């Protein structure tokens, strides 16, 4: 990739990271990420709140997948195909591809993000009132760590591809 192409990819990735931070802020505004509130959070009785939380968690993973697809298309010039392409995309991002790119995310980050990928699939295929409140609470609890891991891995990845592009010019 040229330096210009790397800068464009970096700008698009940073835009998605900003979107993810906005999702966390939205949850924080409702005190849904604070541990003292979570202990007393009774979302199972509120299907509207279940749907809202589910939508935000869904949006988080959509942003993650958008980044993965960008990288896959722009750097690897291919994306996984088939019924399980979502699963394969996450795994692919944790692989270093010799002479193409370093790993985008750590294996531990891939494992954490895969929980959100699985939820995204459920969210798209069930009625909101059927969402599992315990699962939503668990994902809410893990979301800040998932965001931090994803963001840290992506920033390290960007630095590596910028360095490679600069040395190639």
3's tokens: 């330096």
Mean pLDDT of 24-46: 73
Would you state the pLDDT for residue 30?
A: 87
Residue among 60, 40, 158 nearest 105 (CA): 158
Q: How many domains does the chain have?
A: 1
> Which residues partner with 97 through β-bridges?
101
Least confident interval from 23-27, 30-34, 115-119: 30-34
Q: What is the mean pLDDT of residues 43-59?
A: 87
Helix/strand/coil percent split, the chain, to 5: 80, 0, 20
Enter the pTM of the model: 0.91
Average pLDDT over residues 70-78: 93
Query: How confident is the model over 107-165, as pLDDT tens digits?
Result: 999 999 999 999 998 888 777 777 888 899 899 999 999 999 999 999 999 999 999 88
C-alpha span between 22 and 45 (Å, rounded): 26
Domain that holds residue 91: 3-168
| Spatial CB neighbours of 131, under 8 Å, sequence gap ≥ 6 | 47, 50, 51, 54, 122, 123
pLDDT at 47: 84
Q: How far apart are CA 66 and CA 89, in angstroms?
A: 11
- Are 67 and 154 in contact by the 8 Å Cβ rule? The answer is yes
Q: How far is CA 11 from the centre of its chain?
A: 17
Cβ pair 7, 81 in contact under 8 A: no
Q: Looking at mean pLDDT, say which of 35-39, 97-101, 163-167 comes out highest.
A: 97-101
Is the pLDDT at 35 greater than 80? The verdict is no
62: pLDDT strictly greater than 70:
yes
Mean pLDDT, the chain, integer: 90
């Amino acid at each position: 990739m040229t330096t210009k192409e790397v800068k464009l990819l970096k700008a698009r990735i940073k835009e998605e990271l900003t979107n993810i931070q906005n999702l966390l802020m939205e949850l924080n505004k409702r005190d849904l990420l604070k541990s003292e509130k979570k202990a007393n959070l009774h979302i199972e009785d509120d299907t509207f709140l279940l749907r809202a939380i589910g939508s935000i968690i869904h949006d988080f993973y959509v942003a993650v997948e958008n980044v993965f697809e960008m990288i896959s298309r722009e750097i690897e010039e291919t994306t996984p195909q088939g019924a399980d392409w979502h699963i394969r995309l996450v795994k692919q991002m944790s692989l270093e591809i010799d002479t193409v790119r370093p790993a985008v995310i750590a294996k531990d980050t891939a494992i954490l993000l895969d929980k959100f990928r699985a939820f995204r699939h459920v969210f798209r295929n069930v009625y909101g009132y059927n969402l599992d409140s315990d699962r939503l609470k668990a994902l809410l609890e893990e979301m800040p760590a998932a965001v931090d891991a994803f963001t840290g891995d992506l920033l390290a990845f960007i630095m590596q591809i910028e360095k490679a592009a600069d040395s190639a010019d």
